[in-house]
Amino acid sequence: MAVRPQHMHDGGIVERRLRPIYDWLDNGVNKKALQEAEKVLKKSPTLQAARALKALALLRLGKKPEAQAVLDALAQEKPSDDTTLQAMTISYRESQQLQQVCALYEAAVRAEPSSEELHSHLFMAYVRVADHRAQQRTAMALYKLTPKNPYYFWAVMSIVLQAKSTEDKAKKGILLTLAQRMVDNFIAENKMEAEQEARLYIMILELQEKFEEILKFLEGDVYSQLVPGSTAQASIPFLKKLGYWRRLNLLCKDLLWENQDRWDYYMPYFDSVFELMRGADPEGGNGSVDDTAEKCHEFICLLVESVSARRTLRGPYLARLELWKRLSEDGDPTSLLGSGLALCVQYLRIFANKSCSVPDIKPYLAAIPQREREEHCRDFLTCLGFDENSEPDNAADVQRHVSCVSAWRMCAPPLDAPGCLALARALRSQHARCLRAGLLTATPTEPCAADAYAVLAAHHYFYAATQLQDAAPLLEALGVLELALCHSPANLHVKLLLLALYHVLGAGWAADATFARLEAKHVQLVSLGWLHAARLPACAPALAPARLADAHTFYLHHTKDSVEHLTYAYKYGTFEKLVELQAWHARLEACAWAALAARERALLAPHVPHQARALDDRLTDNRDLDVIVSWEPPQARDPGLRTRTFEQDVAYLRLKDALLCGVSLCAEAAAVHDNQHLLEQLDTCIEAFSDAMDRCKEKYCEREKISLSTPLPSRIFTLVQSPLRYGALYAGVLRAARAACARESARCAAAADALRAALRAARAHLPHAAPAALWGARDALDHLAHFLEFVGIATYVMGVCHDLVAPANSKKTKKKPNQSPDQLETSRLLNELNEDMVELLKFAEQHVDAWPRFECEAGAEGAEDEQQRAVAGKLRRSYDDALRYAKETLEAKVKYLKSLQ
């Protein structure tokens, strides 16, 4: 959006002239905006605002050099009117020249030192470039000019940020002491006005670990006036840090009597009880504290009895389960509380009408011994008079039945494949019955309880499929889920499960269509990248670039967006958010998936040299692995799975990074004559890549099991364990290119011979990549995708080498070009390599033509038959699209390689 003029000194004449330019810019019609700006400048050539808007229009039209020339000329004039400055600021921000904004407003402030508005804009300019020292200086100048509290605390927060960004402990202590004294002066003079000012003071004291002073401040008059009624709640974390367990216990008891359902009060209450049971409390003292398990249980029972019968609250009932779990860690809680399983059943009996009931008890089921869980699992199913064949006749009973069935399956021993299929078909019948009886009460924005029948059925179809290693149960699962989504379009769990199952079968196009229905935005592109976009290069390379571009674009632009959030945090005085935004920025900058998305995208289409940003030393795992519900029993969960899968993804990322680095160095070395330093870097890169491939081949030989709620096995397994020996193939291509760039024919001959041998060996292994059945389609497509990626990189590098050794006068002329013997020999070797590569690609085309076409027949009847046919059609199109893309890619590469000969 363009910024409208605010201060006019000529009766609005300039504003009327500029208004059409603003309108066109706001509507995105930048060509018209440029034309209007030119019209205004014909009448008023020196009008700075019109020239600034012209620069903005030029920039948005992609004419950056012309826009920069206009901006540079304006900057020399040192404008000070707000309209011009704001338009120039937008241009500098969009072109990522944030330092220029600082220089712009520094000149404006010198021209008008008494302008509060210019000083505040200068402060925000420093915020965008994270110059905390300059922020402090500007904020204090602003406060002296206009003594307002927000400006003073801008300076205080700038000092705090300086302290947080330094590693020098002495300097950090001095800065924090200064910040504290500045606020102490305000407190002494009774100038504190806002809650956020008090919170900033607490933040300063907390960074210095002055918890006693924090408690005194919280209990003082200033805090109670600024934040009335929150002293008790704010004291909890600092009482814990100081170990004042008696005070914490009494405080939490008082708070819980007033708010029996506040789980954030129960947890510190339990912490205090168990610490007091261990005898830990530096304060000592008397009081009716709960320092035994019996007193704690009695207090919880009183809370349960105090709850109104008309409004049953979950908090006190969950508190009994939490007490049972904590006691079970060190002893036997049954003498005091009875069976943990009985408590869970009781909780389910009371709250089964709520969709959150099973997730509530899920953490506590793991604490119950497996044998006890399995022996009494049917107690969950029958506690409300239901069994697996019950047919509830109203929506409320459907929710209760679904809760009972879900809890039963989480506790029951795993079923064999026939048992899973029988239960899945029973649940599918329940969903169909609800559909016929009108019990599917979903709306376009809200799901309904009966959807859970379809979700549970799909899970059990999946369990059967993994045991049988057969895709047929998955086709039935997809059918019931598509039917559920048709009638409940807002059900997130159904969409996620569909997405996961389509990827299990390697159906990239169908998965992408489902992902589009999720409408994932912003950070979800990162947190859910493992579920969809990371799998597309394996099963739908044609669709992958667009999804990877979405994630990479968000990654590139989050810095600009988060900078503006920082300015808003200062404007509204939410100082705590500044720290959160900085942590968020640092976490996303080091995101492993975002880094992989950039490299995958570059390697899928290596048309131009591209060197991605250097990898962070401490990559972060931003995957949301809890997004898909899991009904697996507690013993089936693998606590180390997240760590292992992340390590596998990071290893795969580093391989891709080394490969991209090698390709980029080849292109750079071929483009310059003095390339010795680049060749040395390339040698290092090739050796590092080869060593990493060897180490990964030894380390990643056993694949992770397939689960719906966890990532599919990393692509590093199919890369390093492939019979095609990609380590030798990639290293051979890069070594041949390195020799060509060095213009060493002897070295090129040796590298070419090694590469030709690797290409001939690869041809023998290609037929083994075809799947024998639909269950193996995902792995087969992954192998094919790795081969296509190698083909793309190899042909690009060969093209670079050909351009390097091709004669300068390549046009069709009768005059023979002058070439040295080394050039002629290198050209001959490259032509032979091209011929071998063409033969391999033609053989691969035949292999793709012979790829088995699976017919996915509909197995359902009645209302579900249409959805089964739709699933079969989606799978068929997914595989056809993948194979069509593979064949077109191979044909295009053959044509390109022939053009080089």
Q: pLDDT tens-digit profile of 506-517?
A: 999 999 999 999
Which DSSP category does 636 fall into? G
Residue 830 phi, psi dihedral angles, 5° rounding: -65, -35
Q: Is the pLDDT of residue 863 over 60?
A: no
Kindly state the tokens that stand for 693. Answer: 């491939």
The distance from CA 524 to its chain's CA centroid, rounded to whole angstroms, is: 5
pLDDT score at 612: 62
Q: From CA 477, how far away is CA 515, in angstroms rounded?
A: 17
Q: What is the pLDDT of residue 226?
A: 92
Given a cut of 70, whether residue 884 has pLDDT beyond it is yes
- At residue 56, the pLDDT reads 92
CA distance 2 to 19: 10
> Do 832 and 435 touch, CB atoms closer than 8 A?
no
- How many CA atoms does the CB half-sphere of 189 hold within 13 Å? 8
Model pLDDT, residue 532 = 94
d(CA 272, CA 275): 5
What is the arithmetic mean of pLDDT over 11-35? Answer: 83
Per-residue pLDDT, 284: 55
User: Which is more confident, 82 or 458?
Assistant: 458
Is the pLDDT at 464 greater than 60? The verdict is: yes
Structure confidence by residue, pLDDT tens digits, 155-186 = 999 999 999 999 999 999 999 999 999 999 99
How confident is the model over 752-775, as pLDDT tens digits?
888 988 998 888 888 777 787 899
Distances (CA, A) of 835 to 523, 831, 900: 46, 6, 10
Contact 348, 357 (CB under 8 A): yes
Q: Record the tokens describing residue 184, joined without a space.
A: 């102490």
Tell me whether residue 848 is exposed, middle or buried, using C-beta atoms within 10 angstroms of its C-beta: 0 to 12, 13 to 18, 19 or more: buried
pLDDT of residue 811: 45
Partners of residue 463 on adjacent β-strands: none
Tokens linked to 30: 């930048």
How many degrees, rounded to 5, is the angle at CA 492 between CA 489 and CA 493?
115
pLDDT for position 283: 60
Helices within 590-640 (DSSP H only)? 592-604
Residue 287's region, left for phi above 0, alpha for psi from -120 to 50, else beta, is left
Which of these, 21, 102, 94, lies nearest to 63 by C-alpha position?
94
Per-residue pLDDT of 686-710, as tens digits, reads 999 999 999 999 999 888 889 888 8
Q: In the numeric block, which tokens belong to residue 361?
A: 């008890």
Helix (H, G, I), strand (E, B) or coil at 816: coil
Q: What is the pLDDT of residue 44?
A: 86
- DSSP string covering 718-743, please? HHHS-TT-HHHHHHHHHHHHHHHHHT
Residue type, 844: A
Contacts 24+ apart (CB under 8 A), 687-690: 688/658, 689/655, 689/658, 689/659, 689/662, 689/727, 689/730, 689/731, 689/734, 690/727, 690/731
Which of 41 and 160 is assigned the larger pLDDT?
Answer: 160
Instruction: State pLDDT tens for residues 477-502.
Output: 999 999 999 999 999 999 999 999 99
Q: CA 658, CA 700: separation in Å to the nearest integer?
A: 18
796: closest CA among 652, 603, 540, 658?
Answer: 603
Q: Is the pLDDT of residue 362 over 50?
A: yes
* Amino acid at site 15: E
Q: In this predicted structure, what is the pLDDT of residue 812?
A: 46
- On the question of pLDDT at 213 being above 90, the answer is yes
CA atoms of 656 and 715, how far apart (whole Å): 11
Distances in Å between the alpha carbon of 789 and those of 22, 492, 794, 891?
A: 47, 33, 8, 14
C-alpha distance from residue 732 to each of 794, 798, 840 (Å): 10, 12, 15
In Å, what is the CA distance from 248 to each residue of 233, 239, 255, 293? 10, 6, 10, 16
DSSP 674: -
For 350, the token pair is 């009371």
pLDDT of residue 58: 92
Average pLDDT over residues 733-750: 86
Mean pLDDT for 75-87 is 90
Given a cut of 50, is residue 404 above it in pLDDT?
yes
Rounded to whole angstroms, what are the CA distances from 765 to 79, 428, 787, 847? 69, 43, 11, 11
Render pLDDT for 422-450 as a digit per residue (tens, 0 to 9): 999 999 999 999 999 998 888 888 999 99
pLDDT for position 1 = 42
Supply 570's token pair.
Answer: 């200062």
- For residue 309, pLDDT over 70 is answered with no
- What does the pLDDT read at residue 245? 94
Q: In which band, very low, low, confident or very high, does the pLDDT at 2 lie, cut at 50, 70 and 90? A: very low
In this predicted model, which residue has the larger pLDDT, 673 or 505?
505
pLDDT at res. 523: 86
The stretch 532-553 carries a mean pLDDT of 92
Q: Give backbone dihedrals phi and psi of 591, rounded to 5 degrees, phi first.
A: -70, 125
Q: Which two tokens stand for residue 214?
A: 């924090």
Asked if residue 112 lies in contact with residue 82, where contact means CB atoms within 8 angstroms, the answer is no
Helices H, strands E: what count in the chain?
42, 0
In a 10 Å sphere around its CB, with 0-12 CB exposed, 13-18 middle and 19+ buried, how is residue 737 labelled? Answer: buried
Q: Hey, how many other C-beta atoms are within 10 angstroms of the C-beta on 836? A: 17
Q: Render pLDDT for 563-613 as a digit per residue (tens, 0 to 9).
A: 888 999 999 889 999 999 888 888 888 999 989 998 999 898 766 555 667
Residue 22 has pLDDT above 90, yes or no: no
pLDDT on residue 826: 76
Dist CA 367 CA 671 (whole Å): 64
Judge whether residue 106 has pLDDT over 90.
yes
Residues 707-734 have a mean pLDDT of 92
What is the arithmetic mean of pLDDT over 115-132? 94
Taking the C-alpha atoms of residue 684 and residue 665, their distance in angstroms, rounded to an integer, is 11
Give the model's pLDDT for residue 692: 94
Q: Considering just the CA atoms, what is the radius of gyration of the chain in Å?
A: 34
- Provide mean pLDDT across the span 350-365: 93
pLDDT at position 585: 87
For residue 862, the 8-state DSSP code is: G
Looking up tokens 């269950």 gives 775
Q: What is the pLDDT of residue 810?
A: 47
CA distance linking residue 870 with residue 440, whole number of Å: 21
Residue 633 has pLDDT above 90, yes or no: no
Residue % of the chain over a pLDDT of 90: 64
- What long-range pairs does 13-22 form, CB within 8 A, spacing at least 24? 14/44, 14/47, 14/49, 17/43, 17/44, 17/47, 17/50, 18/49, 18/50, 18/53, 18/83, 21/50, 21/53, 21/57, 22/53
Contacts of 377 (CB under 8 A, 6+ apart): 408, 411, 412, 413
* pLDDT in the model for residue 611: 61
Determine which helix (DSSP H) or strand (DSSP E) holds 555, and give its type and residue range. Answer: helix 544-571
State the CB neighbour count (10 A cutoff) for residue 773.
Answer: 13
CA distance 751 to 737: 9
51-55, 357-361, 508-512, 809-813: segment of lowest average pLDDT:
809-813
- Please say whether the beta carbons of 826 and 740 come within 8 A: yes
What count of Cα atoms within 13 Å lies in the side-chain half-sphere of residue 49?
A: 21
Determine the pLDDT at residue 596: 93
Say which DSSP state 772 is in: S
Q: What backbone phi and psi angles, to 5 degrees, belong to 806?
A: -65, 145
DSSP line for 380-445: HHHTTT--TT----SHHHHHHHHHHHHHHHHHSPPP-HHHHHHHHHHHHHHHHHHHHHT-----SS
Q: What pLDDT was estimated at residue 354?
A: 92
**b vs e for 617-651, b when ≥16 Cβ sit within 10 Å of the residue's Cβ?**
eebbbbbebebbbbbbbbeeeeeebeeebbebbbb
With a cut of 50, say whether residue 377 has pLDDT above it.
yes
57-93 exposure pattern, b = at least 16 Cβ within 10 A, e = fewer? bbbbeebeeebbebbeebeeeebbbbbbbbbbbbbbb
